Structure 1
Amino acid sequence: MYWPWKQNPWFETVLEAQRRAKRRLPPSVYAALVAGSERGKTPADNTDAFAELEFAPHVAGHQPERDLSTTVLGIPISLPVLISPTGVQAVHPDGEVAVARAAAARGTIMGLSSFASKPVEEVVEANPNTFFQMYWTGSKESMIQRMDRAREAGAKALIATLDWSFSVGRDWASPSIPDKMDLKAMVQFAPEGIIRPKWLMEWAKHGIPDLSVPNLQPPGGEAPTFFGAYGEWMQTPPPSWEDVAWLRKEWGGPFLLKGITRVDDAKRAVDIGANAISVSNHGGNNLDTTPATIRCLGPVADAVGDQLEVLLDGGVRRGGDVAKALALGARAVMIGRAYLWGLAANGQTGVENVLDLMRMGLDSAVLGLGHSSIGELGRADLWIPQGFERTLGAPKPAPRPRRAPARTSAGITAP
């Protein structure tokens, strides 16, 4: 029987997933998904910059079949969209396990945060093609222990995230988040739960989230809370390039360095033996007014794209965005907020929905541009406005020598 007032579980756009997530989640939980640092310019530019790039489609000669598959760090995937690691996914009780299953069902890679709410063993079981992500936090001994655990669980690669500086001025939509869901916190957030009864009932069936991070649990100890782990990060001296090289060596397997926006940093990543980099500004949660990652992608890919794999993370909301990133030199993209909205809207099925939308939008772009595979995408498929790209950290060209001034018959010097 058809009930016209019942909402179709399928959503047609990522924006609709965001609307449903906003309606379903408590206000503070939703705010945590969209928050940025300081004035919030970078997350806005991450998305808006894609619209400044324009396609140059063909009117005929389109290809009836199109190949959207690729490989990332040797792993074949059905579409060039990976799951970017994000912290405690309290938008749904199944959290990262649901996301991992969705990624496996759609033939792509799961990125698991060390700040995740589910242990790496459960996530790898749900998706064998899981990359484990780490921050530079704690002692080297504790970092080795975390890498050993991820390796033993079956993680295929390590993502070292260095684009998270924890700006102090988090005044743009950033909510208050409790350290743990004790009685005091439950009383404080009870009004939000009351106005979102479906979300509250779903969690009631599975138990209240404890906001701990099990992948940072020391041997024989207890898992720290999110903010306990945050405190450890703040007290850890930031890494040098020598430290990053040490991390690369200790891991020993495929290594992706996330957080690159500068050409000189990309070249240093090559020097320390990174197999891949992600052009990323942590979704705008790092240093505000950093340029959109799509603006930085081309110069970075041009500089090092023949020496390692280049990915992009930041602002991807549709398949057309994926096509533009690939045209500027990315092998694949990583998505964060987009799949979290899908998870909030409809669990595992919602994440699959988001990945399907990415696939359909990408396929449409490849079709319209007259290609038979994503490997054929290039700059000729785009109109790139003057001044769009940002070349950070590259030597500036030497100034052109000025001609000696000439004297005219009227005695006036001209350049």
Structure 2
Amino acid sequence: MSNKPEWLKNPWKQNPWFESVAVAQERARKRLPAPVYGALVAGSERGQTVGDNQAAFAEIGMAPHVAGQQAERSTATRVLGHDVSLPVLISPTGVQAVHPDGEVAVARAAASRSTIMGLSNFASKSVEEVVATGATTFFQMYWTGNRDVVVQRMQRAQDAGAVGLIATLDWSFSMGRDWGSPEIPEKVDLATMVRMAPQVVTKPRWLWEFGRTGQIPDLTAPNLAPPGGEAPTFFGAYYEWMTTPPPSWDDVAWMREQWAQISGGKPFMLKGVCRVDDALMARDIGVDAISVSNHGGNNIDGTPAAIRVLKPICDHVGSDIEVVMDGGIRRGSDVVKAVALGARAVMIGRAYLWGLAANGEQGVGNVLDVLRSGIDSALMGLGVSSIHEVTPEHLLVPEGFHVAAGVPTGGSHVARKPEASQPVAVGG
């Protein structure tokens, strides 16, 4: 054991604990090279949807009680057959080059806080490595490659021990950012390191984290490697996605059926729903859950905040399938608002990535602890003893807040005709 004082072992060490996601974000900003941080916060085009995802939560109020609160409160719930200690799940995100341990650190934190880990098939760590942490892991897939490739990747996830599948389809690859897109190299080699050195050398903490492990940021996607072949680069994965024809509803139904056969009936979630008609179609083809999402503002800019479209969707399908939501969650009170409006749970993305950048596995756990504390505070103030007791009546929602896009015009929903709809706004 080394006798060196801690500050000599790690000269950039600071108090690792942070009290809010906002502090985690600020630490991530200071620690990460500008292109890496820029990739975390970026949204499509003007960033309208990214901003609305967060701003919409601020429009919803709460009216706490002054006495009669419950001394004991529970944040625990059950999502797709799995008990979780809080209604916050890890949303799958692509290559996590903010920390050398990447998705493995995130999975360990999820396991230690008894929640679900979502692993992207664009991840920098393999599904085998992540499942080996003991985390309850849902494997996420885009619709890329041909059907044989899709089946092969499903089978690999099943063989590794994934307990569910997430199909993400809410991505139009909108790249035109008004402020410019951060540079992401295709691979990190000597030439790349020399070229990007001016941006990286000013972030010694980030360099030190990778240097002490002998690693360089890995921009490959091991979960997309063919049997016996090499993993493609991140941009190789993009190319496969861009050259694959978009899926039809028949393709989504086939995907669900294949996963059911391969896995023996493990849960299937469709991520990226923001219209009522799409939610109804998803229900009709037999998905177990949907995530109400706009891909964190990285799909079509101008899409309403996920929290705005949540309740109308839950009102139509929430009694038939489980509904989770992602987009803009930064506080425990945000989680409570989403659950009150019908979500079973929420998924977080940027929030835990900032925690990962700030302090690795402990930083991700810190983010989950911050959210749990905020949930508990909200439950106490509202005078309830469980997350299951919150309802829309606990919220102060302004008139016109909820947005119901794609409500069928002919009365009942007609399967496989989602075009028979029109967007409408409904009061709060």
TM range (shorter): over 0.9
Residue 160 (str. 1) matches residue 162 (str. 2)? no
> C-alpha offsets along residues 339-377 of structure 1, whole Å, 9 cap, x if unaligned?
000000000000000000000000000110010101110
1:76 maps onto 2:83 in alignment: yes
Give the equivalent residue in structure 2 for 1:401.
Answer: none
Q: Structure 1 vs Structure 2: percent identity of aligned residues?
A: 67
1:172 and 1:369 mapped to 2: Cα distance?
41
Other-structure match for 1:405: none
Q: 2:332 aligns with which of 306, 315, 319?
A: 319
The aligned runs of 1:130-279 (5 Å cut-off) are 130-172=137-179, 174-206=181-213, 207-252=215-260, 253-279=266-292
1:294-373 to 2 correspondences below 5 Å: 294-373=307-386
CA shift for structure 1 position 50: 0.1
Contact 1:112 1:133 in 2 (8 A): yes
- Secondary structure of the 2:89 match is strand
Q: Which amino acid aligns with 1:12?
A: E
DSSP 3-state at the match of 2:291: strand
2:74 maps to 1:67: yes
d(CA) in 2 for partners of 1:307, 1:128: 27
Native 8 Å contact 2:272 2:295 kept in 1: yes
| 2:14 counterpart residue number | 7
Which residue number in structure 2 is paired with residue 406 of structure 1? none
Change (3 A) 1:248 1:397: closer
Could you tell me which of 277, 287, 293 is aligned with 1:280? 293
Deviation at residue 396 of structure 1 after TM alignment:
5.3
- The DSSP-based 3-state class of the residue aligned with 1:100 is helix
1:187 to partner: Cα distance:
1.3
For residues 114-166 of structure 1, what are the alpha-carbon distances to aligned partners after superposition, in whole Å with 9 as ceiling and x for unaligned?
Answer: 00000000100113410000000001101100000000000000000011110
Following superposition, the deviation at residue 205 of structure 1 comes to 2.8
Cα deviation, residue 209, structure 1: 2.2
- Structure 1 residues 174 and 168, CA gap change in structure 2 (3 angstroms): closer
RMSD (Å), alpha carbons: 1.6
Using structure 2 for the length normalisation, give the TM-score: 0.91
1:128 and 1:154 in contact (8 A); partners too: no
The CA distance in 2 between the partners of 1:377 and 1:397, in whole Å, is: 33
Residue 235 (structure 1) shift: 0.2
Q: 1:6 to 1:196 in 2, by over 3 A?
A: closer
2:205, 2:384 → 1: CA distance? 45
The CA distance in 2 between the partners of 1:228 and 1:314, in whole Å, is: 27
The 2-side partners of 1:85 and 1:384 are apart by 30
- Within the candidate set 18, 30, 38, 2:45 is matched to 38
Q: Which amino acid aligns with 2:254?
A: W
Which entry has the higher C-alpha Rg, 1 or 2?
Answer: 1
Where 1:321 maps in the other structure, the secondary structure is helix
CA contact (8 A) 1:110 1:127 kept: no
Q: Distance in 2 between matches of 1:57 and 1:198?
A: 42
Would you say 1:49 and 2:63 are equivalent positions? Answer: no
Residue type at the aligned position of 1:226: F
Provide the rounded CA distance (Å) in 2 between the counterparts of 1:173 and 1:57.
43
Residues 350 and 56 of structure 1: CA distance in aligned 2, closer, same or farther (over 3 Å): same
Q: Partners of 1:131 and 1:350 in 2: how far apart?
A: 21
Deviations 1:310-355 (A, max 9, x none): 0000000000000000000000000000000000000000000000
Q: 1:293 aligns with which of 280, 290, 306?
A: 306
Contact 1:263 1:391 in 2 (8 A): yes
Give the 3 Å change call, closer, same or farther, for CA 6–220 of structure 1 in structure 2. Answer: closer
Q: Is the 8 A contact 1:261 1:279 kept in 2?
A: yes
Equivalent pair of 1:37/1:172 in contact (CA under 8 Å): no
Provide the residue aligned with 1:118 in structure 2. Answer: 125
CA contact (8 A) 2:327 2:348 kept: yes
Give the secondary structure class of the aligned counterpart of 2:311. helix
Q: CA deviation at 1:2?
A: 12
Moved more, 363-372 or 167-176: 167-176
Structure 1 residue corresponding to 2:97, chosen from 90, 95, 119: 90
**What code does the residue aligned with 1:63 have?**
Q
Structure 1 position 7, deviation (Å):
3.2
Q: How far apart, CA to CA, are the structure 1 residues paired with 2:241 and 2:137?
A: 23
**3-state secondary structure, aligned to 1:164:** coil
Task: Classify the secondary structure of the residue corresponding to 1:57.
Answer: coil
Aligned residues: 397
Report the residue type matching 1:380 in the other structure.
E
Pick from 405, 415, 420 the counterpart of residue 392 of structure 1. 405
Relative to structure 1, the CA distance from residue 6 to residue 39 in structure 2 (aligned partners, 3 Å threshold; closer, same or farther) is: same
* CA distance in structure 2 between the aligned counterparts of 1:305 and 1:259, rounded to whole angstroms: 16
Unpaired runs of 5+ residues, structure 1, are 399-415
CA–CA distance in structure 2, aligned partners of residues 104 and 338 of structure 1: 17
- 1:57 Cα deviation (Å)? 1.3
